[in-house]
Chains A and B, each alone.
Chain A
Amino acid sequence: MKRCFFIVICLLIFSGCQEEPRTTPDNRGNQSLDVDLTKLSTQSPIDQTYANEAKDYLKNIEDITAIQAVNTNDQMMITIEIDYLKRFELETKRKELVKQLKETFPHLEVFVSTDQKIILELEQVEQALQQNQLSKTELEKKIKELMDLAKEET
């Protein structure tokens, strides 16, 4: 019994050790984090320029480590991941970003999520878009589905 616990503790301590996020110095010699994002083609069924703009805007914000964004003609779904230790302020940061993005894109219904499931699903949508596997209606349906999923309480 006691040996089991010892092993369990050791495993958990090792799982807490994780590689530091990669840093690259920019021209002024400041360290900036490599934010994980992929720009989408503007040749997709629906022009993804807004999504790419949103990504450019967000990647300069401190603590954000990954961004996914997809837009349709009237909605934009964005997911972000932030530095783990800053997760206490996750909700306040998310609300701030929604406000800022709504001002930048007033003609779109902007939704920002930090939920792991939505991140996974949106990554899959981005990949499908890059391989041109989604039609316009399919994309709109998928984004609407994701927005409904993110609003579920139970």
Chain B
Amino acid sequence: MIFFWAFVVGGLICVIGQIMFDVFKLTPAHTLTILVIFGAILDGFGLYEPLIDFAGAGATVPITSFGNALVHGAMAEAEKHGLIGVITGIFEVTSAGISAAIIFGVIGALLFKPKG
């Protein structure tokens, strides 16, 4: 069941991205930035976690989950340490995505040759 809904929800989020490409003629950078902000806003309203409970990876794999993780980290730290936690806690929960992208980027640059 979870695989089915991961497929559907993940696909739908990508369709939203595609509509931003084709209908609103936005660049990938614009689209991804808007989607991350959208994920952060949804978590602000407490709507993203239920979506993760329902769709599993369909909600954690798209870039929107990055926004969700940032807000989560900030809120968790703010509950413990007050307002300053909003700044100190942002990268608490999420680091795998950025770290892995950078690390494998450097490894990729070492291993692979550019084409053309």
Beyond A153-B76, A153-B92, A154-B92, is A15–B50 a contact (Cβ under 8 Å)? no
Among A13-44, those with CB < 8 Å from B are 13, 15-16, 18
Q: Looking at the complex, which one of B1, B50, B53, B92 makes contact with A16 (CB distance below 8 Å)?
A: B1
Can you name the residue of chain B whose Cβ is closest to the Cβ of A86? B54
A91: Cβ under 8 A from any B Cβ: yes
Interface size on B, residues (CB 8 A): 15
* Main secondary structure on B side of the interface with A: helix
Interface size on A, residues (CB 8 A): 14
Q: Can you list 28 A-B pairs, Cβ within 8 angstroms, ordered by A?
A: A12-B3, A12-B4, A12-B7, A13-B4, A15-B1, A15-B3, A15-B4, A16-B1, A16-B5, A18-B1, A84-B1, A84-B2, A87-B54, A88-B50, A88-B51, A88-B53, A88-B54, A90-B50, A90-B53, A90-B54, A91-B49, A91-B50, A91-B53, A153-B92, A153-B93, A154-B92, A154-B93, A154-B95
- For the complex of A and B, 5 pairs with smallest distance between CB atoms: A16-B4, A90-B53, A88-B50, A87-B54, A87-B53
